[in-house]
Amino acid sequence: MFGIAGHAAAQVTQPTSAEKKLAGQIKCEDFKKNTNGSWTSGPNAKIGTNVYSNTTFGVRGISLDGADVAIVLEQKCGGRPL
């Protein structure tokens, strides 16, 4: 039997390869988390070679190479490591 701790661990979603790849192109210091759970980039933020200055990313908002940017930001910068 799993018990409570085992059950919670079994529900953790593992990052996809696309999410891991995108995470490698993001610098957490370039983004801030908003109170509604979305993320906003700073004036000089880049993801890879693309500039995303002052852009807000919400879940199911912007997808790059098959990875949702907001989900990757949450995984990498919001306390859940990739």
Domain ranges of the chain: 16-77
* pLDDT recorded at residue 23: 96
* pLDDT recorded at residue 15: 85
Are 23 and 76 in contact by the 8 Å Cβ rule? The answer is: yes
Task: Tell me the C-alpha distance between 80 and 70, whole Å.
Answer: 13
Instruction: Tell me 78's DSSP state.
Output: S
SS3 58: coil
Distances (CA, A) of 1 to 4, 12, 41: 9, 17, 44
* pLDDT recorded at residue 14: 83
* pLDDT recorded at residue 78: 85
* pLDDT recorded at residue 61: 87
What are the mean pLDDT values of the chain's consecutive 10-residue runs (82 residues total)?
46 81 96 92 94 92 92 85 44
